[in-house]
Structure 1
Amino acid sequence: MRMAVVGLFAGMALAFAGYFGGFGAFLLVAALGAVGFVAGRFLDGDLDPGELFRPRGHGRGPR
């Protein structure tokens, strides 16, 4: 599935949550969507758990 279609579905889900459930539901859907995205990337092998907690730019490469 193309990323544009995934973005369309995510936007529609957020819009429905915001319209029918209010701002709290909008935030809940957005937060759970972000958690699901990270979990999916991890399960696909595209994300190393150490990347989430490793500081960036400390002693690596030119500045």
Structure 2
Amino acid sequence: MSATVVGAAAATVLALTWITTGFWAFVFVGVAMLVGAVAGRVADGRLDLRALADAFRGGRSSS
């Protein structure tokens, strides 16, 4: 699946959530989708949480 299809599907889910259940459910679903995306990237090895934490703390990167 392309990034465009995934983005459109995510936008559809969020829009339908907002329409049917309201703003705070929309926010909750959006945060849950973000957490799921981060967890997926960590599981795939495409996101290094230690490097990310070091960047936020002002640490140096090895690259």
Q: Quickly name the TM-score band, shorter chain normalised.
A: 0.7 to 0.9
Task: Say whether residues 1:10 and 2:16 are aligned partners.
Answer: no
Give the aligned CA root-mean-square deviation in angstroms.
2.1
Equivalent-residue separation in structure 2 for 1:36 and 1:4 (angstroms): 18
Q: Partner residue of 1:43?
A: 43
Q: Aligned residues, how many?
A: 61
Equivalent-residue separation in structure 2 for 1:35 and 1:17 (angstroms): 17
Equivalent-residue separation in structure 2 for 1:38 and 1:18 (angstroms): 22
Higher relative contact order (CA 8 A, sep 6+): 1
Structure with greater helix percent: 2
> Runs (4+) of structure 1 moved beyond 3 Å?
none
Equivalent-residue separation in structure 2 for 1:59 and 1:53 (angstroms): 8
Identity %: 42
Residue segments in structure 1 that go unaligned for 5+ positions in a row? none
Equivalent residue letter for 1:47: L
Residue segments in structure 2 that go unaligned for 5+ positions in a row? none
